[in-house]
Chains A and B, each alone.
Chain A
Amino acid sequence: MNTRPRMLELKSVYKNFGGLQAVHDVSFGVAPGSIKAVIGPNGAGKTTLFNLISGNLNVSSGSILFQGREIQGLKPHAIAALGMARTFQNINLFHGMTALESVMVGRHVRSRAGFLAGMLRTPATWKEEREIREKSMQLLRLLEIEEFADVEATSLAFGQQRAVEMARALATEPKLLLLDEPAAGLNIYETAEVGRLITRIRDMGITVLLVEHDMSLVMDISDEIVVLSFGCKIAEDVPTAIQQNPEVIKIYLGEDEEAVV
């Protein structure tokens, strides 16, 4: 498919919960600068797969390479520091923080001031704080939510909360962005907006891996699609080929008829 070095590479990844096999021998790669989508019916193991990649879960066997480096076994924060950011299926914002502050937290790995510098308020920290604030405002503008900068993030409307979460993830300057159902709970207009945004993010040079239920969005923006069913990979191809794939059609017609548009 692609001969360039992979941004992300999964090699026969397994995950068992007790007797349940949530992910079974899944291998695929993500090419740099591409948008790749993971789809599949409910319970196919998509979110588990995401949690394995981001380090929230450990694989039962297999390996995960990020920019050629084994990241299996690293803590989530260490993986994030390597340049992988994520959003959550159920929005996960910091209680009691404004939208701007939430995004500023995202600058954590791109800034340095520690306990001592923070307590002594050294001139270097002023400069750094100003940069953090400016960069964060830029991101709020990019996502068109700058007017809510000083509003508590968890009190915003649903779509705006998703935008804050996305801005926070982008603030880490990721090389790879994991989006867990970025269009869940959004209306058609907002979904299209998210689609445009993801394409823009890709054009900024950030590789995107997303899990999504909304087929029209996935087919629109993805460069490649991986289809999971009951923890197994059953197809990996470009969108047009996936749409023709008889096995994919079968599981979707069998399991979730509305999903195929």
Chain B
Amino acid sequence: MRDSKLLKIALLIVLVIGVQELTTVTDTQYYLTQLTMSAYYALLVIGLAVVMGYAGQISLGHAGFFAIGGYLSAALTTHNLVALQANPVIHGLGSLGMLVSGQDIYGEQLLVVAPWAACIFAVLMAAIIALVIGIPVLKLKGHYLAMATLGFGIIIYRIGLATEYFGEADGISEVPGFTLLPAIGSFGPISVSGDFGLRVENYYVAWGLLVIGLWLLLNLIDSRVGRALRAIHGSEEAAEAVGIDTAGFKLKVFVLSAVYAAFAGVFLTHYNGGIGPSEASVMKSVRYVALVAVGGMANVWGTLIMGVGLTFLSLRGVFGSYDDAVFGAILIVVMLFAPDGILSMNVKALFAGRRTTDEHEAKNA
């Protein structure tokens, strides 16, 4: 089990490197931009897959967590704090090295929060909001849970759209890149930014983050916690009876997925150099649910493949003006014909399908 997991991850890494080499050879490096973005979206989607597939809770508000991460990090690293320099809090942050100063294009002095500090703050805030929202929301089930998470997503969208601090309808642009690793000798520095010359490096940053995120989640699923989550999905009553704190676990996995979403938001925003309100829209949240559904709910690998694949096609504009319609259609088709996901369909039908029906008959007899 564990060996096959490591083998698959190794294959993925080989594939990631292979694709990059291929784009160099074929001189199609422009694909790397969308592949980088797809990797960040996939990071969010695999986190959501654990909430939906393993803990059995639907969330129609995950674009909200993505936006919390992206918007906070963007706002903190772009809003000039020079006017507030005298403020003791700001001063304190400065002496802790959490601020960076520079000059804007007009030569004015610029003082903003350092990207790394902004990143940590944004992800922490997303986690705290997920915790606070999650306590009442996760008590709900079915339609109520769906509507409550949808409502949360819309409120975040509205806040982005209506708040001057978050740039209203225009969003925030000119977000600086940030240095992930300082230069060590001739190696590095590695920074997350949309800089044309850093395309290959950013491709590896994104995919590196995704592979690490994937590895952590796969470990989690195989662990005691993962078993408990699957048990909750299987039967909440029985899970309680063996001592699993079902409410606590649902909450923790919800927060974990919010952290994944926020990380994706932070990195993608610094990579793109900006974020707009559409990233928080309901349609985005629905799209993430569609990707989890088509990947097979309780199937992190399937979700990863479909998440990267479909997002890449969408970003390349393959679906044209039918972009949203494609994801709507995917939702319906998958839920009607293959509720376990597209990837599991053939395999199950060919190998396991016959046997399980026999077993069902034996059980019913």
Contacts and interface: CB of A to CB of B under 8 A. Distances in A.
B234 A75 contact: no
Contacts of A93: 234-235, 238
Nearest to A111: B224
A220 B222 CA distance: 43
A105 interface: yes
Contacts of B227: 101, 104-105, 108
B356 A155 contact: yes
B79 interface: no
B223 interface: yes
Interface in A82-112: 85-86, 88, 92-97, 101, 104-109, 111-112
Interface stretch (A11-19, A34-42, A121-129, A248-256): A121-129
**Chain B: number of interface residues, binned into ranges:** 35 or more
A94 B235 contact: yes
A81 B220 contact: no
A10 B259 CA distance: 45
A106 B252 CA distance: 20
Contacts of A158: 363
A132 to B, nearest CB: 7
A81 to B, nearest CB: 4
A114 B226 CA distance: 10
A216 B77 CA distance: 76
B239 interface: yes
Contacts of A107: 224
Contact of A125 (B223, B241, B244, B252): B223
**Interface size bracket, A side:** 35 or more
B225 interface: yes
A97 B237 contact: no
B67 to A, nearest CB: 24
B246 A157 contact: no
Contacts of A115: 220, 225, 252, 256
Nearest to A114: B225
B244 A105 contact: yes
Which one of B220, B298, B360, B362 has the greatest number of beta carbons of chain A within 10 Å?
B220
B363 A129 contact: no
B234 A118 contact: no
Q: Tell which of A95, A119, A169 has the most Cβ of chain B within 10 Å.
A: A119
B243 to A, nearest CB: 4
Contacts of A132: 224
Contacts of B241: 54, 76-77, 80, 85-86, 88, 92, 169
B235 A95 contact: yes
A113 interface: yes
Contacts of A106: 242
A56 interface: yes
A117 B246 contact: no
A112 B243 CA distance: 12
A118 B240 contact: no
B344 to A, nearest CB: 12
Given A77-B243, A128-B224, A155-B356, A121 B219 contact: yes
Contacts of A97: 230-231, 234
A118 B245 CA distance: 17
Contact of B219 (A54, A112, A119): A119
B246 A77 contact: yes
A155 B246 contact: no
B227 to A, nearest CB: 5
B104 interface: no
Contact of A76 (B216, B235, B240, B359): B240
Contacts of A172: 242-243
Interface string B185-225: 00000000000000000000000000000001101101111
Contacts of A175: none
A105 B227 CA distance: 6
B353 to A, nearest CB: 13
B226 A108 contact: no
A168 interface: yes
A155 B243 contact: no
Given A114-B225, A118-B220, A109 B242 contact: yes
A35 B247 CA distance: 33
A94 B245 contact: no
Interface in B295-313: 298
A94 B223 contact: no
A1 interface: no
Interface in A43-97: 54, 56, 75-78, 80-81, 85-86, 88, 92-97
B99 interface: no
B39 interface: no
B244 to A, nearest CB: 5
Contacts of A261: none
B286 interface: no
A112 B225 CA distance: 9
B244 A120 contact: no
Contacts of A120: 216, 219
B228 interface: yes
9 contacts: A56-B240, A77-B240, A86-B241, A94-B231, A97-B231, A105-B242, A106-B242, A109-B242, A118-B224
Interface of B: 216-217, 219-220, 222-228, 230-231, 233-235, 237-247, 252, 256, 298, 356, 359-360, 362-363
Given A85-B242, A92-B241, A105-B242, 11 more contacts: A80-B242, A81-B243, A92-B238, A95-B234, A106-B242, A118-B219, A118-B225, A125-B223, A155-B360, A155-B363, A172-B242
